[in-house]
Amino acid sequence: MIPNDSLDTHSAQVDHERPDKPEEACGVFGVYAPGEDVAKLTYFGLYALQHRGQESAGIATFDGDKVHLHKEMGLVSQVFNENILNELTGNLAVGHTRYSTTGSSRRVNAQPAVVSTRLGSLALAHNGNLVNTGELRAELTRRECDFLTTTDSEMIALAIASEVNSGKDWLEGALSAFTQCQGAYSLVIGTPKGMMGVRDPNGIRPLVIGILPTSPQRYVLASETCGLDIIGAEYLRDVEPGELVWITEEGMSSFHWSQKPARKLCVFEMIYFARPDSVMCGESLYSYRLEIGRILARESFIDADIVIGVPDSGIPAAIGFSQESGIPFAEGLIKNRYVGRTFIQPTQSMRESGIRMKLNPLKDVLEGKRVIIVDDSIVRGTTSRKIVKALRDAGAKEVHMRISSPPVTHPCFYGIDTDSQDQLIAATKSVEEIRQQIEVDTLAYLSWEGMLIATREDTNTFCSACFTGNYPIDIPEKVKRSKLILEKSVTV
The residue from 26, 145, 181, 226 that is catalytic is 26
Q: Does 105 carry a binding-site annotation?
A: no
- CB within 8 A of 163, min separation 6: which ones? 172, 173, 174, 176, 177
Q: Are strands 398-403 and 370-375 parallel, antiparallel or unpaired?
A: parallel
Instruction: Please report which helix (H) or strand (E) contains residue 462, including its range.
Output: strand 462-463
Q: Does 121 carry a binding-site annotation?
A: no
> Which residue type, as a one-letter code, is found at position 242?
G
Q: Does 281 carry a binding-site annotation?
A: no
Helix extents (H) in 88-195: 133-142, 152-165, 170-178
26 assigned to active site: yes
SS3 category, 408: coil
Ramachandran angles phi, psi of 410, nearest 5° = -135, 145
Please give the biggest Cα pair distance in the chain. 74
Nearest one of 449, 139, 460 to 299, comparing CA atoms: 449
Q: Listing from the earlier edge strand, what are the strands of the sheet with 251-256?
A: 113-117, 120-130, 183-190, 195-199, 243-248, 251-256
The DSSP-derived string for 327-378 is PPB---EEE-TT--S--SPPPHHHHHTTTTTTEEE-HHHHTT-EEEEEES--
The Cα 227–Cα 48 span in angstroms is 5
Buried b (16+ CB within 10 A) or exposed e, 423-448: ebbbbebebeebbebbebbbbbbbeb
The Cα 122–Cα 120 span in angstroms is 7
CA dihedral 228, 229, 232, 233 (to 10 degrees): 30
The Cα 45–Cα 26 span in angstroms is 13
The Cα 322–Cα 444 span in angstroms is 15
> Which residue type, as a one-letter code, is found at position 443?
L
Q: Does 466 carry a binding-site annotation?
A: yes
Ramachandran angles phi, psi of 94, nearest 5° = -125, 130
Q: Does 226 carry a binding-site annotation?
A: no
Q: Using an 8 Å Cβ cutoff, are 160 and 169 in contact?
A: no
Q: Which residues form the catalytic set?
A: 26
Write out the binding residues for [4Fe-4S] cluster. Answer: 266, 412, 463, 466
Write out the binding residues. Answer: 266, 313, 375-376, 412, 463, 466
Write out the binding residues for Mg(2+). Answer: 313, 375-376
